[in-house]
Structure formats: structure tokens, C-alpha cells
Chain A
Amino acid sequence: MILLQALAFILDGQNWVSGPRILYQLGVTLSISAISVLIVVVIATPIGIAIGHTGRGRGVAILLSNVTRALPTLGLLSILIVLIGVNATPVAIVLVLLGIPPMLAGVYAGIESVNRSTIDAARAMGMTEGQIIGRVEIPLAAPLIVGGLRATTLQIVATTTVASAFAFGGFGLYLIKGLNTADYVQMAAGAILVTALCLLIDGLLAVVQRLVAPRGVPRDGADSASPKPRARASRSRATATVSPLQEGMQS
């Protein structure tokens, strides 16, 4: 059984420090992912807040996410590597490009989902626009913002696997090396490691998503099908996953 042998490969403590050096490859995967996520957050958060707060520029964001969905990761990587060279820069550029749309969508959908009358109430109390954003909209939008961060992080970690195809380190290296040398145990071990890492990160961020939900606000469950009627955000989260494409490509 290849799967059992792969598990044995992973559980062998020796493999973590010498030979395949799992610990080192984990570090490579995590560090390039962390840097890319950080860049995405710095770029996408302010833009997402601006779109959500003003309600403008949504079309551009939807168009961007449609285009990146259609662009093959492998193609983007190969072009940038041919142009820039085999190093971390082209990989980081691709990771950031693919990571921006989900983060942007999470932020603007979150800000947009804040009840219009809550914002009006804040304004009536004399809050400045900055205070409304910082003290009302962001806290209320926090679960959706973290949801965007979660999607972005997963997208980025998963894409590092493909980046390994171009001799860049990370768990994907086991997949590619295993394939090329017909070492299917190593290949399966790589697949299990990267899958486990993704599930772990997803689980952790799901917990964070629950923790950042402001107290006293009814929790909008991850799969609530019936959004409360709102003045501004006329769409539920559930349909938001589908409708951007529909909207963006209609006409």
C-alpha cells in the first residue's frame, strides 16, 4: 500500500531533519506563503474597504477575479520565470496575483454587508467617516474579512505546490521528484503533507473567523441561505460566490 508507506515516510522523524528534510520544505512553503499573504493583505485590504465603503469600483474587482480565475497558474508562472529567472520573485508575484481577488472580495463583501441603518446611526451620533470605518464597519465585517483571508491563504499555499514544478522548493518538490523518479511513496507523502497543511490552515482560520465575530451580533452562519433583507447589500454570501462571474461576464 503506497498510502501506508507514505504515512510511514512522513512519520519517520529522521525524514524531517535529513534526507528529504520535511521541516526545511515546510519552512520554505510557509515563508513564501506568509510573505505573499502579507503583501496581499497590505494591497487588498485598503482597496476592499474603499470599494465596500463607497460602493464604487465593484465591477473592476469582479472583472479582476474573473480574469485570474481563468488564467492558468502554470502558464503565468512559466511566463514570469522565463522573463525574470528561476527565483522567489516570479513565484511571489504569481502568488500575490492569485491571492488578491479572494481577499478583496472578502473585504468589500464584508464592509458592504454592514446594515445601512447601523452606519446611518453611527453617522448621526457624530462619528467621522474614519471612525465609522474603523469602529463600526470593520468590526462588523471582521468574519467575512477573515473569510477572505482564509480563501487567500489556501489559494496561496496550494499554488506553492505547483510552483515546485519549476524547481522552487516546498512540499510540491516531493510530488515532482517522486513523479520523475517513479518514487510514488515520496510523491504520495508530498500530496498528503500539502493536503494536511491546507486543511490545518483552513481549520485554524475557521476558528479565527468565529473568534472575530463581534459579540451580540447574530452570527451569520457560514452557510445561511436566508440573508436578512438589507438596504445596501442586496445579495447573500451564498449567491455572492456565484453571481460575480455571472454579472461580470454578462453583456
Chain B
Amino acid sequence: MTGTLDTMSSATVHGAPPADPPLLDVGELRKRFPVSGTLGLIGRLRRRMKGGPIHLPHVYAVDDVSFTIGKGETVGLVGESGCGKSTLVRVLTRLLDPSGGIVRLGGRELSLTPARRFAKDPDRARIQMVFQDAGESVNPRFTAFAAIADPLRRLRGLRGAALTAKVEKAADQCGLPRALLSRFPHQLSGGQRARVGIARAVAVEPALLVLDEPTAALDVSVQVVILQLLERLKTELGMSYLFVSHDLGVVRLLCDRVLVMYLGKIVESGPARAVFANPLHPYTRALVDAAPSLHDRGAGRIRLQGEPRSPIDPDPNVCRFYGRCPKGTDLCRAEMPALRRFGERDVACHFAEEITAR
């Protein structure tokens, strides 16, 4: 690896070759939430009466995130809880409005449509989501049939025999026996529920499927089957995946590329195998080291100490990982590292070259 140090804007860095425009193009996406609790209602009223500024502190949940997902590509998104994965997913799936930046799906700018109106948008069907535990995310009073039929009815306007045919087709594609369609979620096993969750998402033929830890609640033997099902569906239906997961082992197997997120920012991205085999960012290194493996007893791994920095109004000049990072120098406290390109990878660390050189 040569380690070219030209610091390009991240939007261009992630750009796919111009011949094949990406399916999803996310640029400088930001989502901030005001934190009113620190001041309280009385405090805010008092401040307003004094005519003072009513600036509230904000949680920087997603901060300047750019990436693309190509057609047919599977991109993994990993990071600790609280790092902004879920917020990012909710903004991308247009359940939340971004505070800034763009979300472009197949050339169309989606962030201009408010989340409230997007529910009725023709593009709603093109981004679908599979949630973590279908036992909890599927309406317990809906049968499997009703759960799969609901998005088809609302988004595709199907009724009657056409609807039934489509539901049965989705069930067949997901390996859910038709005899189970009349059952309620609590009458299904974990694996069958996962299939219902997938079937309802793919029934409306989305271009992009966002999967939020789809196998986290499953045993390994069932997980294997579901992962292989997802892999097959992707090819059969020509979808792209954004795969959110804690389980680095699963991400390594399923994903072409991976994004590593820490406190609202992408700290490393690149081909999944390369990133996990040789992490360049100290946080990625710590994540990989922390993931238990059948083959090593974890000797010599980086142990992360301390709690993450506060995401509320973070200092723009301090690396978000500073304080937990085993490297942590004065430079990290004085200048936020930008994403820089290393071959096929992007890394936001001042010391990435040292790690490349190893």
C-alpha cells in the first residue's frame, strides 16, 4: 500500500466510477437532536424573557457522514450502541429528517421530502427495512399473512387475489411454508419470524434493503440459514443491502464493504475482509480485538478503557476517540483527523500511516 496522503472531500472519495452511478449516495449527512433537559422549561422561559440566546445543546448523532452503496452491493455498518448507527438508518429510511446533507436514491434527492410525507411517497417501497426481532417488530395481532400483506396493500395498492398471490410469492421466496401464513407471531419459531420480517420487506420489491441486526436474536444454526437466504434473495431480486450488525464475524462473511462508525462519524471504511484483517483505525482494531474468536484466546489485544466522549456539542477540533484511544497524542486533541484515502480504504486517524507501515 502506497499510502497517498491527498485529503479529498469525503464525498468524492467514496464516489463510484461515473459509468455506474451508485444506488444510494449519502453526502455530508448530519442529524442533531436538541437536548432540552439540561436547562429545563423554567430555565428556558427565564432565558427567553431575558432576551438571551436560546441555543440549546445538541446531540451530534450523525455528523458529516458520506458514503455510497452500489447496485447489488452489501455494505456493513458496525459500531457500538450509541454511535449513531440507528439514527443514520432512520434518516436513510426516511423515518427521520436530516439536519443537513443529502440522501440520493437512484439520482433522486430524498431528503427534500419530509419524513411525514414520505410514507405516501412512490419511492417509499424502494427502501425497506428488516428489523432486529420480528417477534417484537411485527404487530402481534397480525397473522403472518396480514403482516406481509400490509405493505403491499399500502404501497402497491394490491387487493384480493393479486394481493394473495403476491404474499404467497414472497413467502415462497423466503422459505416460509404457506401453511404458516395464518399463524400469529407468537406461534412461530424465531427462524420463521425472521422469515416473515424479511418477506414483508422484500414483497414490495425494494431496491435497497436496510437490515438492522436481522439475526441477533437467533441461534447460530438458524442464523446460518437466514444469512444464506439473504444472500440468495439479494441476487434473485437484485437488491442492495445496508447491513447493520454488532457481529463482526457475520459482517465479514456477508458484506462487500464495511463502514465503521464512532460517535456519529465514520472512522474507517473499505473492503470488509481487508478492514477486519488489518484495521488501520485504532477503534476498528479495538473492535476486531474485542470480538471473540474460536482460534485465539485474545492475548495481546487492545483493551479499551473508559467511556466514550459525550456526543453533546462535541469539540470540533478533538478526535472523537480521544481519551479512549491507546494512541491519543496532543495532535489528536488539537485537530480532528479527516478521512484520508489509503488504497481502497478511508481512515480518519492522524497515525494511520504508522499502522499501514507495520
Are A and B interaction partners? no
Residues in A lying within 8 Å of B, measured CB to CB? none
A-binding residues in B (CB < 8 A) = none
